[in-house]
Structure 1
Amino acid sequence: MVTPESAAALTDRGLKRPTNEDRVLAQELAGGSLLLAVADGVGGIAGGESASTGAIETLATELPKAPSDDPTKALKHAFSVANERVRAQAAERPELEGMASTLAAALVRGNKAWLANAGDSRIYLFHKGQLRQISLDHTWASEQIRAGRLTNEEAKSSPFRNVITRGIGVAETIEPDTSGPATLKKDDLLLLCSDGLYRFVSDTEIARVLESGTPHSMAERLIALANEAGGSDNISVVIFRTGS
């Protein structure tokens, strides 16, 4: 059962954006599994909202229908269906042309977690006071850095630094990064978030918040910190705490 002590999924418009194009999910599935996700839409107000909503809704409906013996395959299938639906919707409505969405998801069964992501929404693991990013950013700048073509400082000043290279609706097909099963220890935390959090709140500040409180109170505090830092983007936070 999803309770404030076990999981939280919060999203906030921020202080500068007219609407919230992020979507979040913390959904209990049959058998006690938990599905967590964050989606951050791009492509204008109408397009961004439609893309992120489509990504989350498709994930929530498709994953429970998939065979349970291969969680990674199930996640990939749900991402693929979401990609097809978002692209089909964009093709039907000219005002939605070019819309897309990031999607970061975690499927938790007991103390095991399977992960999938496309775009620059992130998944972190908080273990014994240490915060570690366990997803890869799919942005032009991040890929240039990994290829050794740009330094971190050069990437920060690039006009293409935030352009996502993978995502729901970006291309005809999608290949999310996947991993798992990861073994979670008691009181480990999974944090899924949009860039509206990590671009404005440092890893050190995030880790400090995750030291104490419930997932719900932690998520509220992280959103408050992002708004205190200017609130220039929508902010989404999903947190899960492993039980015994």
Structure 2
Amino acid sequence: MALTKTPKFAWTSFATTHIGKVRKINQDAFVNLPDKQLWAVADGMGGHEAGEFASAAIVNALSQLQPGKTLGGTVNAIYAQLDSVNRELVDMASAMGNHAVIGSTVAILLAQRQHFICLWSGDSRIYLLRKGQLKQLSRDHNYVSKLLNDGYDLEQANNQLFSQSLIHATGVEFELYLEVQMQELQPGDKFLLCSDGLTKEVSNLDIELALNKHGVEEAVAQLLLKTLKAGARDNVTIVAVDASALL
């Protein structure tokens, strides 16, 4: 009886952020830490520089994270870090008054041994490319997604007032909400994390083609170029991650 070897994974990744062609401030930020097997995108919101502060606070907290011995331990540490940021942002907004908002989406990819975990709040996305097929792992926490779940078709949902308004995000509610998904890694898996500045301008097919055709750096470059050519109405942040097996 032959023993099956458990694969180990070598990680490569590339990330970029761009202010776009319309906005005056880049309120996006990212984490790209392949040595920690930790990646994230944060898309800030709020007047003036508030969103920039919120996304930076999230990225700084995650960058200081020390992974635990288990995935569960690391997830708990992430939640604790972001819960602290969430309370800080809520308190700051409350002190400002006038219904101020200092918040940010967050989408996180964490890997350990043969598994990966996605955590997210808001509408920044996490995609998985496996065996050539692209799948969106995250679920948008916005009003349009709720309408679709309630039975509206896509056109009806998009035509509703405030359809793109967020239901969850860091800093906008007293209790931090993070959705979590865990899966087993497979050799050759590729991931893409992005702010909605990308998905407003390019299709899922564009993302699938770029990840299938190119390595992580060139895939990011091609998707950013396509976004800029399409008008780049928002800040755009893209993180591409490749898990190659070392047998």
TM-score computed with the length of structure 2 as normaliser:
0.88
Q: Which residue of 2 aligns with 1:238?
A: 239
**1:114, CA displacement in angstroms?**
1.1
> How many residue pairs end up in the alignment?
234
Is the 8 Å Cα contact of residues 106 and 116 (structure 1) preserved in structure 2?
Answer: yes
Q: Which residue of 2 aligns with 1:193?
A: 194
Report the secondary structure of 1:236's partner residue. Answer: strand
Which of these residues, 36, 52, 56, is aligned with residue 55 of structure 2? 52
Q: Which residue of 2 aligns with 1:25?
A: 31
Structure 1, gaps ≥5 residues long: none
Report the secondary structure of 1:211's partner residue. Answer: helix
Q: Which residue of 1 aligns with 2:153?
A: 151
Residues 153-232 of structure 1 aligned to structure 2 (within 5 Å): 153-180=155-182, 182-232=183-233
- The sequence identity of aligned pairs, in percent, is 29
Is the 8 Å Cα contact of residues 14 and 233 (structure 1) preserved in structure 2?
Answer: yes
Q: Which residue of 2 aligns with 1:122?
A: 125
Is the 8 Å Cα contact of residues 46 and 95 (structure 1) preserved in structure 2?
Answer: no
Report the secondary structure of 1:145's partner residue. Answer: helix
**1:95, CA displacement in angstroms?**
9.2
Q: Which residue of 2 aligns with 1:41?
A: 44
2:48 and 2:187 map into 1 onto residues whose CA distance is 40
- Structure-2 change in CA distance of 1:215 and 1:95 (3 Å): farther
Q: Which residue of 2 aligns with 1:113?
A: 116
Which of these residues, 4, 9, 12, is aligned with residue 6 of structure 1? 12
**1:89, CA displacement in angstroms?**
3.1
Structure 2, gaps ≥5 residues long: 1-9
2:132 and 2:59 map into 1 onto residues whose CA distance is 30
Q: Which amino acid aligns with 2:166?
A: I
**1:138, CA displacement in angstroms?**
0.3
Larger Rg belongs to: 2
Q: Which one is further off, 207-216 or 85-94?
A: 85-94
Q: Which one is further off, 34-43 or 182-191?
A: 182-191
2:185 and 2:200 map into 1 onto residues whose CA distance is 26
Does structure 1 residue 75 correspond to structure 2 residue 73? no
Report the secondary structure of 1:231's partner residue. Answer: coil
Q: CA offsets per residue over residues 37-56 of structure 1, 9 Å max, x none?
A: 00001112311111111121
Q: Which one is further off, 80-89 or 171-180?
A: 80-89
Q: Which amino acid aligns with 1:24?
A: F
**RMSD (CA atoms):** 2.0
2:60 and 2:161 map into 1 onto residues whose CA distance is 32
**1:96, CA displacement in angstroms?**
9.7
1:96 and 1:33 map into 2 onto residues whose CA distance is 38
1:60 and 1:101 map into 2 onto residues whose CA distance is 16
**1:86, CA displacement in angstroms?**
1.9
Is the 8 Å Cα contact of residues 143 and 167 (structure 2) preserved in structure 1?
Answer: yes
Moved over 4 A (4+): 92-96
**1:67, CA displacement in angstroms?**
4.0
Q: Which amino acid aligns with 2:59?
A: I
Q: CA offsets per residue over residues 65-99 of structure 1, 9 Å max, x none?
A: x6433233233223312211222333445699212
Which of these residues, 100, 104, 124, is aligned with residue 97 of structure 1? 100
2:36 and 2:102 map into 1 onto residues whose CA distance is 31
